[in-house]
Amino acid sequence: MTRILDSHVHLKHGDLARTEYSPDIVVRTMDAAGIERAVVFAMSTTTSESIAMAERAVRAFPDRLIPYAYALPSYERPVLAELEDAIANRGFKGIKIHAGECALREYIVDPVLALAGRLGVPCLIDAAGNLGATERLVAAFPGTTIIVAHMGQYLCTNGRLIDQFVDLAVRHGNALLDLSGVVLSWKIEDAVRRLGSERLLFGTDGPDKAPDTASHARLELAKIRMLDLSAADRESILGGNLVRLLRLP
């Protein structure tokens, strides 16, 4: 049976209301959609609070939830040590960066990318459509796996921009694309043809109340299932790739 793993779930979102979802709602949503495990993280908060929130969630559902830490510079203290402690000592499997809250400039994010490479964990980056910054990062850190959220831009309707993000992944083997919030779904078929399925990850970017959390997750899943793909490609995208990337049991 195909294993379904969600590579992009928020305990706290970056929307205007900074909406939080309890681990219970996250897991109930997964159950409703048939999702076995999910990567969870919080944004719109400090790195240390993001770590605490993900730890609480994973403590409640250790077999279902996989924690990422959120990287955001702080005036109070350096966050690199907090990120390293979370990954080295607390079972965190990756780092989330969001261009909406953290500029992707070299003097801000490069130390985080270097740390991720050194510790062997991926960085999930929402680049908010910033192709140039993404290209610089994947080129500057060939030893760091960079997961580009939403194939480059959330709900992007600019097919040309999506093509450019796929081109970028073709050129740089350390770049993966997450398929959450991709509305031009035929671009996913293009990406499989040009890039191969190994570097594409299913994700819901949930929970999302529109229309309700279960339907949102089911719709994201249906989006992948409706694509004209081989069974092997579908299996890789829906879970196999994340299992290999994070070395999950």
Instruction: Give residues in contact with Zn ion (CB under 5 A).
Output: 205
Check residue 92 and report its DSSP letter: -
Residue 66 corresponds to which tokens in the numbers above? 């996989």
Nearest CB to Zn ion, comparing residues 117 and 206: 206
Nearest CB to Zn ion, comparing residues 41 and 229: 41
Least gap, CB of 29 to Zn ion (angstroms): 14
Least gap, CB of 206 to Zn ion (angstroms): 9
Contact 165, 148 (CB under 8 A): yes
Residue 111 corresponds to which tokens in the numbers above? 């130390």
Least gap, CB of 179 to Zn ion (angstroms): 12
Nearest CB to Zn ion, comparing residues 207 and 240: 207
Q: How far apart are the first and last CA of the chain?
A: 15
Least gap, CB of 182 to Zn ion (angstroms): 12
Nearest CB to Zn ion, comparing residues 21 and 92: 21
Least gap, CB of 177 to Zn ion (angstroms): 14
Q: Where are the beta strands (DSSP E) in 37-178?
A: 37-42, 65-70, 94-98, 123-126, 146-148, 175-178
Nearest CB to Zn ion, comparing residues 114 and 219: 219
Burial class (CB in 10 A: 0-12, 13-18, 19+), 244: exposed
The residue whose Cβ lies closest to Zn ion is: 205
